[in-house]
Amino acid sequence: YTGADGKNSDVDVLTNRAVSKMKDLGAEIIEVDQIFLNDDIDYNAFQVMLHEYKDGLNDYFASLGPDAAIKNLTELIEFNINDKVEMDFYGQEYLEMAVVMEGMESEDYFKHLEAANLGSRVNGIDRVMDAFNLDAIMAPSGSPAWKTDHANGDKFTLGSSSPAAISGYPSITVPMGYVDELPVGLSIFGRQWSEGELIDIAYLYEQATKHRREPKYIEK
């Protein structure tokens, strides 16, 4: 799967090597351009996240007891507004979007959840795997980690986690190599209940490549 969000030329090199190694190990490779049919899936999944975000945080604060300094999401937002130690660097837009949601018992939540599941499962991963008779889907996990930049923000260039994350289907990541000493992963995911097969494939690749090495600090 090479239609992941964004591109990174250094990661492309490692991905091509991983594809070649999989072929050497006996795999038949079929390129898949897209898994999601449209952007509505991402929108619906985001709405689901906001509903769950609100309920999850409120449940957490409630678990802290009556003497907790912050008792709910509304108070957290107010605290951040009044104490702007971190707000110069990090906003709280997601918190503000979540606080106005109705929560996980609402019709709106279930509407978006059903749409996200249908788009990512039946019309997403299942559709692609059935169309090409696939055992699994492999993709570069993401770009190398970027330096923290308070002025310009994150420099995200590549990611492939959405299909498995939104569908709730299994996914496993193994080392694929390094870019400037930073690790890059290879993700292998598939349909529901395929954990055993995914582990077998990932283990075979991992043992054949041995990319993993001990982390170390890099001299400036």
Q: pLDDT digits over 6-54, tens only?
A: 678 899 999 999 999 999 999 999 999 889 888 899 999 999 999 999 9
Distance, CA of 83 to CA of 76 (rounded, Å)? 10
What's the average model confidence in pLDDT over 161-189? 96
Look at residues 115, 102, 117, 124 and name the one whose alpha carbon lies nearest to residue 52: 102
51 and 105 Cβ atoms separated by less than 8 Å: no
Q: The tokens of 124 are what? A: 């997403």
Query: Is 60 exceeded by the pLDDT of residue 62?
Result: yes
The angle formed by the CA atoms of residues 185, 93 and 99, to the nearest 5 degrees, is 110
3-state secondary structure of 185: strand
Predicted structure pTM score: 0.88
**Least trusted range by pLDDT, from 122-131, 142-151, 202-211:** 142-151
Q: pLDDT digits over 127-148, tens only?
A: 999 999 999 999 999 999 888 8
Look at residues 136, 131, 109, 121 and name the one whose alpha carbon lies nearest to residue 49: 109
What's the average model confidence in pLDDT over 117-132? 97
Look at residues 13, 21, 41 and name the one whose alpha carbon lies nearest to residue 210: 21
Query: Is 60 exceeded by the pLDDT of residue 5?
Result: no
Type of residue at 129: M
**Residues contacting residue 69 through CB under 8 Å, at least 6 positions apart:** 79
* CA dihedral of 211, 215, 219, 220, whole degrees rounded to 10: 90
**Predicted local confidence at residue 6, as pLDDT:** 60
**Predicted local confidence at residue 157, as pLDDT:** 82
